[in-house]
Chains A and B, each alone.
Chain A
Amino acid sequence: DADVTQTPRNRITKTGKRIMLECSQTKGHDRMYWYRQDPGLGLRLIYYSFDVKDINKGEISDGYSVSRQAQAKFSLSLESAIPNQTALYFCATSDLGLAGGREQFFGPGTRLTVL
Protein backbone atom coordinates (compact mmCIF):
# COMPACT_ATOMS: atom_id res chain seq x y z
CA ASP A 1 0.00 0.00 0.00
CA ALA A 2 1.14 3.52 -0.77
CA ASP A 3 2.54 5.52 2.14
CA VAL A 4 1.11 8.83 0.88
CA THR A 5 -2.27 8.78 -0.81
CA GLN A 6 -4.24 11.52 -2.51
CA THR A 7 -7.90 11.72 -3.45
CA PRO A 8 -9.23 12.29 -5.96
CA ARG A 9 -6.62 11.45 -8.59
CA ASN A 10 -8.39 13.45 -11.26
CA ARG A 11 -11.00 16.19 -10.98
CA ILE A 12 -12.70 18.44 -13.49
CA THR A 13 -14.69 21.32 -12.09
CA LYS A 14 -16.13 24.67 -13.11
CA THR A 15 -15.06 28.18 -12.27
CA GLY A 16 -16.40 29.31 -8.91
CA LYS A 17 -16.84 25.85 -7.42
CA ARG A 18 -15.33 24.86 -4.07
CA ILE A 19 -12.93 21.95 -4.29
CA MET A 20 -11.17 19.90 -1.62
CA LEU A 21 -8.16 17.72 -2.26
CA GLU A 22 -7.27 15.23 0.43
CA CYS A 23 -4.00 13.70 1.52
CA SER A 24 -3.37 10.86 3.95
CA GLN A 25 -0.11 9.31 5.08
CA THR A 26 0.89 6.21 6.99
CA LYS A 27 4.56 7.16 7.41
CA GLY A 28 4.07 8.74 10.83
CA HIS A 29 5.71 11.99 9.69
CA ASP A 30 4.92 15.26 11.39
CA ARG A 31 5.56 17.49 8.40
CA MET A 32 3.19 17.69 5.45
CA TYR A 33 3.21 19.91 2.36
CA TRP A 34 1.08 20.86 -0.62
CA TYR A 35 2.69 21.73 -3.95
CA ARG A 36 1.41 22.55 -7.39
CA GLN A 37 3.25 21.58 -10.53
CA ASP A 38 2.91 23.49 -13.77
CA PRO A 39 4.83 22.65 -16.95
CA GLY A 40 8.16 24.45 -17.01
CA LEU A 41 7.71 25.90 -13.53
CA GLY A 42 8.67 22.96 -11.37
CA LEU A 43 7.06 22.53 -7.96
CA ARG A 44 5.82 25.52 -6.03
CA LEU A 45 4.92 25.35 -2.35
CA ILE A 46 1.33 26.29 -1.45
CA TYR A 47 1.13 25.48 2.28
CA TYR A 48 3.03 23.42 4.79
CA SER A 49 2.39 22.08 8.26
CA PHE A 50 5.00 21.11 10.84
CA ASP A 51 2.40 19.56 13.12
CA VAL A 52 -1.35 19.66 13.68
CA LYS A 53 -1.28 23.13 15.24
CA ASP A 54 1.39 24.66 13.01
CA ILE A 55 0.29 25.66 9.51
CA ASN A 56 2.18 28.06 7.30
CA LYS A 57 1.75 29.74 3.94
CA GLY A 58 4.09 28.91 1.12
CA GLU A 59 5.05 31.04 -1.85
CA ILE A 60 1.69 30.78 -3.68
CA SER A 61 -1.03 30.48 -1.02
CA ASP A 62 -3.48 33.04 -2.45
CA GLY A 63 -6.74 31.36 -3.42
CA TYR A 64 -6.03 28.26 -1.32
CA SER A 65 -6.67 27.16 2.26
CA VAL A 66 -5.69 24.05 4.20
CA SER A 67 -6.79 21.98 7.15
CA ARG A 68 -4.67 19.57 9.21
CA GLN A 69 -7.28 17.27 10.69
CA ALA A 70 -4.79 14.87 12.27
CA GLN A 71 -1.13 14.01 12.04
CA ALA A 72 -1.96 11.78 9.09
CA LYS A 73 -4.35 14.03 7.17
CA PHE A 74 -3.81 17.33 5.37
CA SER A 75 -6.46 18.78 3.05
CA LEU A 76 -6.17 21.53 0.47
CA SER A 77 -9.21 23.62 -0.50
CA LEU A 78 -9.87 25.94 -3.37
CA GLU A 79 -12.68 28.15 -2.08
CA SER A 80 -13.67 29.44 -5.52
CA ALA A 81 -11.78 27.70 -8.29
CA ILE A 82 -10.47 29.66 -11.26
CA PRO A 83 -8.97 28.38 -14.54
CA ASN A 84 -5.38 29.33 -13.68
CA GLN A 85 -5.56 26.88 -10.78
CA THR A 86 -5.57 24.08 -13.34
CA ALA A 87 -2.48 22.10 -12.41
CA LEU A 88 -1.08 18.91 -10.93
CA TYR A 89 -1.18 19.00 -7.13
CA PHE A 90 1.12 16.99 -4.91
CA CYS A 91 1.07 16.24 -1.22
CA ALA A 92 4.36 15.38 0.46
CA THR A 93 5.63 14.42 3.90
CA SER A 94 8.97 14.54 5.65
CA ASP A 95 10.50 13.40 8.91
CA LEU A 96 13.03 15.50 10.76
CA GLY A 97 13.64 13.22 13.69
CA LEU A 98 17.12 11.97 14.52
CA ALA A 99 16.80 9.21 11.94
CA GLY A 100 15.18 11.46 9.36
CA GLY A 101 16.81 11.62 5.99
CA ARG A 102 15.62 15.14 5.21
CA GLU A 103 14.00 14.07 1.93
CA GLN A 104 10.33 14.37 1.09
CA PHE A 105 7.92 11.56 0.22
CA PHE A 106 5.32 12.36 -2.41
CA GLY A 107 1.82 11.19 -3.16
CA PRO A 108 0.78 10.23 -6.69
CA GLY A 109 -0.75 13.62 -7.42
CA THR A 110 -4.18 15.04 -8.23
CA ARG A 111 -4.76 16.43 -11.70
CA LEU A 112 -7.21 19.32 -11.38
CA THR A 113 -8.86 20.99 -14.34
CA VAL A 114 -10.92 24.14 -13.84
CA LEU A 115 -13.14 25.02 -16.77
Chain B
Amino acid sequence: AQSVTQLDSQVPVFEEAPVELRCNYSSSVSVYLFWYVQYPNQGLQLLLKYLSGSTLVKGINGFEAEFNKSQTSFHLRKPSVHISDTAEYFCAVSDTGGSYIPTFGRGTSLIVHP
Protein backbone atom coordinates (compact mmCIF):
# COMPACT_ATOMS: atom_id res chain seq x y z
CA ALA B 1 0.00 0.00 0.00
CA GLN B 2 1.06 3.56 -0.62
CA SER B 3 0.43 6.80 1.19
CA VAL B 4 0.89 10.44 0.27
CA THR B 5 1.49 13.44 2.50
CA GLN B 6 1.07 16.95 1.19
CA LEU B 7 2.84 18.99 3.79
CA ASP B 8 0.94 22.25 3.34
CA SER B 9 -2.82 22.55 3.21
CA GLN B 10 -2.62 26.13 1.99
CA VAL B 11 0.13 28.15 0.31
CA PRO B 12 -0.38 31.88 -0.17
CA VAL B 13 2.00 33.63 -2.55
CA PHE B 14 2.22 36.90 -4.44
CA GLU B 15 1.96 37.03 -8.21
CA GLU B 16 5.30 36.52 -10.04
CA ALA B 17 6.89 34.93 -6.97
CA PRO B 18 8.24 31.36 -7.08
CA VAL B 19 6.33 28.58 -5.38
CA GLU B 20 6.99 25.03 -4.17
CA LEU B 21 4.24 22.61 -3.17
CA ARG B 22 5.60 19.71 -1.18
CA CYS B 23 4.68 16.05 -1.53
CA ASN B 24 6.15 13.05 0.25
CA TYR B 25 5.10 9.47 -0.32
CA SER B 26 5.52 6.10 1.31
CA SER B 27 5.65 2.83 -0.60
CA SER B 28 7.30 -0.57 -0.37
CA VAL B 29 7.36 -0.94 -4.15
CA SER B 30 8.31 1.14 -7.17
CA VAL B 31 5.93 3.99 -7.86
CA TYR B 32 4.48 6.26 -10.47
CA LEU B 33 3.93 9.84 -9.31
CA PHE B 34 1.45 12.47 -10.46
CA TRP B 35 0.40 16.03 -9.81
CA TYR B 36 -3.14 17.07 -10.68
CA VAL B 37 -4.72 20.54 -10.60
CA GLN B 38 -8.34 21.36 -9.82
CA TYR B 39 -9.58 24.79 -10.80
CA PRO B 40 -12.73 26.10 -9.06
CA ASN B 41 -15.85 24.17 -10.04
CA GLN B 42 -13.93 21.80 -12.30
CA GLY B 43 -12.65 18.25 -12.24
CA LEU B 44 -9.00 17.32 -11.82
CA GLN B 45 -6.61 17.49 -14.74
CA LEU B 46 -3.08 16.17 -15.04
CA LEU B 47 -0.25 18.66 -14.56
CA LEU B 48 2.65 16.25 -14.89
CA LYS B 49 3.74 12.70 -14.14
CA TYR B 50 6.82 10.65 -13.41
CA LEU B 51 6.82 7.13 -14.80
CA SER B 52 10.54 6.48 -15.37
CA GLY B 53 13.67 8.09 -16.74
CA SER B 54 14.69 11.65 -15.94
CA THR B 55 13.83 12.63 -12.41
CA LEU B 56 13.02 16.21 -13.45
CA VAL B 57 9.63 16.29 -15.05
CA LYS B 58 8.13 19.25 -16.87
CA GLY B 59 4.41 19.74 -17.13
CA ILE B 60 1.83 22.16 -18.41
CA ASN B 61 1.61 25.83 -17.49
CA GLY B 62 5.29 26.11 -16.58
CA PHE B 63 5.21 23.67 -13.68
CA GLU B 64 7.91 21.10 -12.99
CA ALA B 65 8.58 18.48 -10.34
CA GLU B 66 11.57 16.45 -9.25
CA PHE B 67 11.43 12.84 -8.16
CA ASN B 68 13.78 12.22 -5.26
CA LYS B 69 13.82 8.52 -4.47
CA SER B 70 16.08 8.77 -1.43
CA GLN B 71 13.86 11.37 0.19
CA THR B 72 10.64 9.83 -1.20
CA SER B 73 9.54 13.23 -2.41
CA PHE B 74 7.98 14.72 -5.53
CA HIS B 75 7.78 18.46 -4.95
CA LEU B 76 6.07 20.72 -7.47
CA ARG B 77 7.64 24.04 -8.45
CA LYS B 78 6.98 27.05 -10.59
CA PRO B 79 9.45 29.94 -10.90
CA SER B 80 6.82 32.66 -11.34
CA VAL B 81 3.14 32.20 -10.57
CA HIS B 82 0.14 33.96 -12.06
CA ILE B 83 -3.26 34.77 -10.60
CA SER B 84 -4.67 32.05 -12.84
CA ASP B 85 -2.61 29.42 -10.99
CA THR B 86 -4.93 29.79 -7.99
CA ALA B 87 -6.32 26.27 -7.58
CA GLU B 88 -6.19 23.07 -5.55
CA TYR B 89 -3.23 20.80 -6.28
CA PHE B 90 -3.17 17.08 -5.59
CA CYS B 91 -0.20 14.75 -5.47
CA ALA B 92 -0.88 11.08 -6.21
CA VAL B 93 1.13 7.85 -6.17
CA SER B 94 0.43 4.44 -7.67
CA ASP B 95 2.26 1.15 -7.82
CA THR B 96 4.01 0.15 -11.05
CA GLY B 97 3.14 -3.50 -11.26
CA GLY B 98 -0.14 -4.20 -9.57
CA SER B 99 -3.46 -2.44 -9.71
CA TYR B 100 -2.08 1.00 -10.72
CA ILE B 101 -4.82 2.58 -8.62
CA PRO B 102 -3.56 5.91 -7.29
CA THR B 103 -3.64 7.14 -3.74
CA PHE B 104 -4.21 10.87 -3.50
CA GLY B 105 -2.92 13.37 -1.01
CA ARG B 106 -5.27 15.71 0.80
CA GLY B 107 -4.50 18.60 -1.51
CA THR B 108 -2.76 21.96 -1.28
CA SER B 109 -4.67 25.13 -1.96
CA LEU B 110 -2.45 27.59 -3.85
CA ILE B 111 -3.67 31.15 -3.44
CA VAL B 112 -1.98 33.74 -5.64
CA HIS B 113 -2.39 37.34 -4.53
CA PRO B 114 -1.95 40.34 -6.85
Contacts and interface: CB of A to CB of B under 8 A. Distances in A.
A101 B49 contact: yes
By secondary structure, the A interface counts as: strand
Interface stretch (A63-71, A76-84, A106-114): A106-114
Given A42-B90, A43-B104, A94-B100, A107 B43 contact: yes
Chain A interface bracket (under 10, 10 to 19, 20 to 34, 35 or more): 20 to 34
Interface string B102-114: 1011110000000
Contacts, number: 45
B101 A106 contact: no
Interface residues of B, number: 20
B106 A104 contact: no
A102 B101 contact: no
Contacts of A90: 43-44
Contacts of A43: 44, 90, 104
A12 interface: no
